[in-house]
Structure 1
C-alpha cells in the first residue's frame, strides 16, 4: 500500500485496478481483510530478479502467498501499534497454516519483484522486527486480530502458504 488505508479500501474495491491483498493494516493498528486466505489475491504476481529462496519457478506467487499491506509511504516507517497488529496477524496466519515464523517464510515484495525496492519500506529491517515480534507473542491478545478484522467486500479476488 502506498497511501492510506481508506484509499486502499477504495482501490481494492475497484475491479479495474486488478490489484488486491489479503489484509491491510492501518497506522492505528486497524486490520482490514480484503480477500479470504484460501483465495489468491493480486499482490505479488509479477516476478523480477527474485532473491527469495523459496520462490517456485514458473508459478505465480499469488497462488501460494498471503499478502499483507501496511498504511503509509515507504519512508514513513511503521507505528508501534501497526507493528504489534502486524506481528499478531502474522503469528495467527502462521498458526492457521502451519507456516514457520522466520524470514524464509515472511518476505517483502522487494524479494519477489526487484522493481519494488521500498516495499514494504526503505528500512528492510522491519521484516526482521515483525518476525521477532510475532515469535515473542505467546498467546492471542484479546480481542484477537481476527475478531477485530474489518472484512472489506472486494467483489473480485481469486491462498495459502507463505506470507508476503
Structure 2
C-alpha cells in the first residue's frame, strides 16, 4: 500500500482500479469545478466513474481517496502512469496559498517515493508536475482544466517542493536580450539559447537537436508556450512564432527559476 503521511485517508470503494498503477511519470493538477466535500461525495457515487488519488480544499485540507498503488480514474489515458490531485474551485480560479503548499507536499512525496523529477512539464509523455489539459483528447479533452491561471502557478509549486526536499535550486538567471523581430527560418545564435530554455520548461522535446536555425520545431514550441501563457502573445494570434521581451523573461523564469 502507498498512503501519503499527512494526508487524510478517506478511501472510496468504487470508481478506481485495484493495482495497475505503472511507473509514475508525475503528478497531474486538476480543478474540481465544485466544492471539496461535494467532490468527495461524487467520487463515492458509482455513477460518477471518476476519482482522484488526492484532493485539496481552499482552506488547505489534503485528502487521499485512492492508494497510489491503485489507478484513480482522473485523466483517461494518463491514469496508468500519473498520480492525480483534484483542487477545490472552478475554472478561472487561482489556487490558494494553502493549496499550493499541499500540492507541493504531494509532489515532494512523489519525488521521494517514486522518483518524480521536480520540474514542470507540458508533455503527457514527459515527467514532473503536469496538468489535465496537456493530455488533450487522449486524456478526455478537458482543455480548460485546470485553467491557464493555475498552469501559471505550477512553477511556484515546484519551487515549494524543492524547498521541502532540500533540493538545490538553480541560481537566478538573467536572460540575455532577445533580438527584436526574430524571423522564422533565419540563422540566429540566440535560437540555441531559446531552444534550451524551451526544453527546460517542457515546451520542446529534449530529443530535438539544437540548431541556430529558428525553424518549424522551434516555432511550434514557441506557439505552445504562447498558448499556455496568452498574456505574452499578440492579441488574437494562436500560433505566434515570435517572442517579445516579457515572454522571453517569463520563459526563462519557468525554465531556470526566479
Q: Is TM > 0.5 for Structure 1 vs Structure 2?
A: yes
**1:23–1:68 contact (8 Å) kept in structure 2:** yes
For residues 78 and 38 of structure 1, the distance between their equivalents in structure 2, rounded to whole angstroms, comes to 27
Matched, 1:122 2:148: yes
Higher relative contact order (CA 8 A, sep 6+): 1
Aligned to 1:68: 85
For residues 136 and 94 of structure 2, the distance between their equivalents in structure 1, rounded to whole angstroms, comes to 20
Instruction: Give secondary structure in 1 for the equivalent of 2:136.
Output: coil
Alignment coverage as a number of residue pairs: 125
Of 129, 150, 172, the match for 1:106 = 129
CA displacement 1:28-87 (0-9 Å, x = unmatched):
110111100010010010xxxxxxxxxxxxxx3211110111100121211111111111
Q: Which has the larger radius of gyration?
A: 2
TM-score (norm 1): 0.71
For residues 121 and 129 of structure 1, the distance between their equivalents in structure 2, rounded to whole angstroms, comes to 16
Once the two structures are overlaid, the 10-residue window that deviates more, 90-99 or 32-41, is: 90-99
For residues 37 and 102 of structure 2, the distance between their equivalents in structure 1, rounded to whole angstroms, comes to 17
After TM superposition, list the pairs within 5 Å mapping 1:145-160 onto structure 2.
Answer: none
TM-score (norm 2): 0.46
For residues 119 and 128 of structure 1, the distance between their equivalents in structure 2, rounded to whole angstroms, comes to 17
Instruction: Give secondary structure in 2 for the equivalent of 1:18.
Output: coil
For residues 61 and 76 of structure 1, the distance between their equivalents in structure 2, rounded to whole angstroms, comes to 24
Gaps of 5+ in 1: 46-59, 140-164
Matched, 1:96 2:113: yes
Q: State the shift of 1:136 in Å.
A: 2.1
Of 79, 94, 113, the match for 2:96 = 79
How big is the alpha-carbon RMSD for the aligned residues of Structure 1 and Structure 2? 1.5
Of 14, 33, 44, the match for 1:2 = 33
For residues 66 and 87 of structure 1, the distance between their equivalents in structure 2, rounded to whole angstroms, comes to 13
**2:108–2:165 contact (8 Å) kept in structure 1:** no
Instruction: Give secondary structure in 1 for the equivalent of 2:70.
Output: coil
**2:120–2:158 contact (8 Å) kept in structure 1:** yes
Gaps of 5+ in 2: 1-31, 122-127, 167-258
Aligned to 2:50: 19
Once the two structures are overlaid, the 10-residue window that deviates more, 8-17 or 89-98, is: 89-98
